[in-house]
Structure 1
Amino acid sequence: MSKEDKIVFCTGGGCTAKLGAGVLSRILEKLPRGEKDPDLLVGYDSRDDAAVYRITDDIALVQTVDFFPPMVDDPYTFGQIAATNALSDVYAMGGEVKTALNLVCFPEDMDLNVLGEILRGGAEKVAEAGGSLAGGHSIADSGVKYGLSVTGLVDPHRMYTNDTGMPGDKLVLTKALGVGLLCTANRVSEAAPEEMEAAIRSMTTLNKTAAELSRKYHVHAATDVTGFSFLGHLHEMMGGKLSCIIYADAVPVLPGAEKAADAFLYTAAGQRNRNHTGPFVRFENVSFAMEEVLFDPQTSGGLLLAVDPADAAALEQELRTAGLPASIVGEILPKQEIEITVIDK
């Protein structure tokens, strides 16, 4: 790959390229809905991670799509991250990956070997997920973008949705936060190599193991933490009818992320997240750097699970035994004046 063909960092690479949650909500509210299909169990109106359509009493399709510009300069690694991120929505619904279609935007004058490496990285992650890469679509564009349209299967009686948690449930997070901050720091050469390597390991780790282990326990709700940040996706989980308390000292954070926040190396997407979700959050004794971590847009983040309190500790331990930095980070409460309270002991 020549110097001219090297993928450069994008100002909005990865899930930082998402439109803000507030903008999307205003647009989606105005779309015509048509007559409700009783077999569409989950649609866009619930702000969930994927659509779910019932085929039989015991089988439902899970459909999702995700793609974005690169946030790392190695094409193969970018392909792995983008695919891992897209596959995650199926796991967030409690499903199993079956097929995937490539989505590619690529400049006609760029070395096709770059595209080949992106697609190789993505194909390997689809295979690791147990799915089949079944085709795709490409268009000529001024910049590089890549992702997947993914189809999975789930038992509709055992699927996860994002807003069905219950008071008393423990909140379990399966990956550390901070990849958005670290990618920004890396773009200006302020992230140590080992810090960026840890971020890449996190972004290329499938949520498959976490999802499979979670099915052994009583999980009432789930989501994956991506561009709208930990607090943004937590806000969606509360669904306007619940509240929660988060223990900041229990939240796993990637090395270097808080340092990047202290150096003001955060993203515009993180500030959009703060503007949208901040009014629902109260911080108590939490550092500004940790606030930024909690608002940081994640690319290929972990699962956030609302787990029966009797099962939470066992699930946390099993996830950790599997090598995941999982932690019980809070608890769901009955609805209170403040939706999300974050405290640091």
Structure 2
Amino acid sequence: MPQNSIEAASSLHTIRDLVRWAMTRMEDSRISLGHGTNDTWEEATFLVLRALKLPFDKLDAFFDANLTEEEVRRIACLIEERVTEHVPVPYLLHEAWLVGHRFYCDENVLIPRSFIAELLEEHLQPWVQDPLEIGSALDMCTGSGCLAVLLAEAFSNARVTGVDISPSALEVARVNRSDYGLEDRMELVLSDLFDMPELKSRRWDLIISNPPYVTTASMESLPDEYRHEPTLALEAGGDGMDVVRRLLPEASRHLTNNGLLVVEVGDGREALEAIWPDLPLTWLTVSAGDNLVFLATARDLREYFGPHEATA
């Protein structure tokens, strides 16, 4: 940490002091948000409270608590790393929260975030009328395993599979699987989509995916914070659809007869519809709009990809 920051930190004593100082440093540095917080107030309070292992929804109870010199120095170092190196807070703390669930994360995985999580909170109703009827579910491109954990929670009868191409990502997913006690219900498979032999003949009642969908051009303009995330989990070619192009035809063969596919594509709706203009898709409403996540049925996928899959 720079000497002037060490000197500034030495005069801080309370959580209030640290939050105020963190906000000032963040505002001065023009950091980019988007990894779980909406403004520098949320960013600062989350960093300070969780660095102290305190609940971030109990700020009033701890705001004027005095800290030790070591605590002040340690948190001041985290604040400086956030503003000078633009490291996202979840990587600094190895902790991210998604729909009220805590997940371990590091720079081997995307920081947990997906609009699919909102849909799983509602058990994908009305598309899934009885959550207990989902006996098998797959999270393709599982990364940290956060959506796989939420799948297991939303559909208590389901055996859950998480698939990822990155061995390092699956190590993170194993931590989260263990944290939620799901070793007996969640398997993790290293595979490039459905390429591994153990997946080729299997079908699932529900497949979800938050695959890479950032275009090559957009990658070049991403804020520094996003450059700490693995490129493999973000970039997907000129139109952002490199992975989705493969995923949909393959998924049509891996769904049960009444199965459902749910995929997040960010701002890729136009690119997706340019590839398959006549493919029946239902765009689902999430907090950021109704053009980000789509649902397709097994029947529609098979009818569409059956006769001309090779040219899709």
Instruction: Provide TM-score, normalisation by structure 2.
Output: 0.28
More strand by share: 1
Higher relative helix content: 2
**Which has the higher Rg, Structure 1 or Structure 2?**
2
Higher relative contact order (CA 8 A, sep 6+): 1
